[in-house]
Structure 1
Amino acid sequence: MNKKALTLATSLALVGTIVAGCGSDNNSAGGNGNAGTGGGDKDPTVTLRLLTTNPLVGEESIELFEEQNPGIKVNYEYVPTADYSAKFAALAAGGEIPDVFWTQSGFYTDQIKQGLVKDLSEEMKTKNYEGDQVWEETFIPALLDNARNVVKKGLGERDNYDYGVPFTMTTIAVLYDKTIFDQLNITPPATWDEFMANNETLKQAGYTALSMHNNWIDWYPRLFWDQYTRDELTSNPNAFEDGTMSFSSESVKQGLVSFKELWDKGYFPSNGITAELQAMQQMFVQRKLGQFLIAPDKLEYIINNAPKEMSLATYALPGIAGLPSRSLGGSSNVFAVSEKTEHPEEAVRLLKFITSKTHFSEVDALKYSNSGLNNIESEPELEQFLSGFTNAAAGGFSPDILVPTTINTQISTAFKTDLLPNYLFGKISLDEITEQLQKLYEETTKN
């Protein structure tokens, strides 16, 4: 797929059906009422604060929402993902949690447990932003189930599990330059052995074979765990809770061993442990990086900066243990409403807009995203280029909380910023990392 063709595309949904119609009734807020009923020259009557680490919800989104809801003004703040935990903690400590905010599994369960997130179970039964469907029925069922299961897994049985809504259906695939593959006489791998052979060929040709950066450093072990632990955790999803499994289980260790093997073979960039996403994007467009494990919402920089001679394509990562491959992601991007918001109706309306057909159809920045909504039109122009994401989603999703390194903020942060880096560098052994993870797991879940 060349750059020119990609630029012509206007929208993308990797999963969905033919659109039945997206006529918008912007004076209907479902069961929550429309706060903005005055004319366009009317001063805003309500001001909301929105915090996000997801750049797809940006100034263009806010401008469209305010245009359609003249009674509501939104103060928008973006924070890089790596800074989110500290930023949110500071806001919570000061009693200044934004009305609507981005979150994900490791943070989400902590925020619910601390009573910081509004229960949306009743709102989910009201009309969506366009007013033509029940809100919860607008989501692809598997995506909404994924979001609810994060809460159930992290906090146990509850009366309901709707405290936030999934923003996009995140899928993970490998991006590559077909011209490089053709020059090296390699093809997208169908098996793990073929994948490893391609890595070696790329390395010998002078390329860094695989991407890795600090915020996604845990992607590889989590993908490997989905293969190695799947049988055990399918037969007993509560194996960690009841002690049947631990981080010292052989299947869990195998995922870490396989990750370190990739590192020791020199397939990752030498600065991958500390590098930011943008560094990987730059390496790729400079044709120094052979393959990029990436989510579709991070493609825009590459599409806009790729040299003309690049011919981009994607493939789903094969399963390391030979099982059908499942993707990370699902409902990894969630937006929620503060329990303390002074404007719950307006905050819920903003949340409905963020997860609406209107938003995904009319905001240009969302054209590479996978909305996770029913009835969003697929863009044929992009389907071949993004077939890897389609295939990854078709294989299903690994549960967000499988081997529980994402069960809360403390263990997730320690795993990504301390334990994994030290393990890869050889500063701690396999037994030491698994023992420390088990200790953290027990300490953070005993209450």
Structure 2
Amino acid sequence: MARHALSVIAPQGHVGTLAFESTEDRYEFVYDPGWPGAVRAFPLSPHVPLAGPPAASGVVARFLQNLLPEGRALDVASSFHHISKSNVFGLINLLGREPVGALSFLPEGVAAEKAVVPALRRPITDAELSKRIRMRDSVPFPVWDGTVRLSVAGFQDKLQVLLEGDRISLVEAPLASTHILKPESHNPATPFMVANEHFCMTLASRMGLPVAPVHIRRIPEPVLLIERFDRTVEREQDGQTAIAVHRRHIIDACQALDMPVALKYERNMGSTEHVRHIRDGVSFEKLLMLAKDFENPAIARQFFLRWAILQLLIGNSDAHGKNLSFFLSGAGLAPANLYDLVCVHTYGPAIEQEMAMGYGDEFHCDAVAAFDLADFAHRTALPATLVARELASMARQASKLAPGLAQDSVYTQDERARVQDIAAFVVAQAERLIRIAPEVSKVDPELL
């Protein structure tokens, strides 16, 4: 039998060993005997606990699959290295040095060598970055210096970079990236995505939600720089040069629920008439069931509720199970900062408008009514009065903040036209939700 192994490393030390038997397509993960007793030890996920028998092969495989990029980025990694996209272990072996969170997956024996390698920065000038963005049709954006540099999940073009003042660099261990860099969308159907995401993220932050800090940089093409919440940085006295970048363990909602990437949408089979009743994917109901695994279940329920309402307000139909992450420690889960907040509604029918998760049985943000929200409350075991109160409160905030944010000088004239369109939608949606909020708690529970 062909057995392969990788060491799984965290900043605190050796976590365990990942083994793969290729003939049988079987995975095994075993914790290092000293790991459960280490300071700030954590489990890989709630489904790979520190104590008890090893997790089943499928559990380990799903955890790993959710670490990989999707879409074109996965195609690039697969074709560049001549590895099948279904070869999860092979891709983790290639891309696992700095995935999301605190873990690194290294060939056995490499970890000790890494500790003594000096930090290597590979600077990227604005001119080079601009050229690479313009060359995306011929040179895939994740490939730099003959190496696939992307190892974070998601569809959009992005790059993991170290930001030191205005300096952008690619880095190797023992340093790590501090930001995710996103260029403008390559899809002509989704123009001004940088401004769109910046606006929605800023609005959510001003509304008091925990959001990853973002800013727009022009090189001259706009790029969005998103500060990584799974990193903390020690800097020199100049306030810019990084001395050390510490990685924090996080998992996404699919990993927390032990669900594969294919189930990140609630209607995992699609929405055509003969399959729309199949709702095996990540849903609000399933997310709220995770509250018991949180350090503070009450905070978790409030977090999920506010996240669900936010997607309604901004018209984000692509808020799926991989767009939520949680910190994980020995004490349990805790909400992480929000990310990937965009108004999909502004792009019209060219982009799928059905929400990734249903509010009751309604999957269109501008059609959600009081009955649907009461059904949402019932399914998630949230008090209808709480849903109504939070809905009205967040809608009032959004309606007040959105128009002013759309006037921000950070946007160009063309971008401002787009964000003003988004702001107008937010205001209209907020006013509609404020009107129906008092009716939510009046719905007869017997009808649900």
Q: TM-score, normalised by structure 1?
A: 0.24
Q: TM-score, normalised by structure 2?
A: 0.24
Comparing both chains, which one has the higher relative contact order based on Cα–Cα distances under 8 Å and sequence gaps of 6 or more? 1
- Give the number of the structure whose residues are more often strand, by fraction: 2
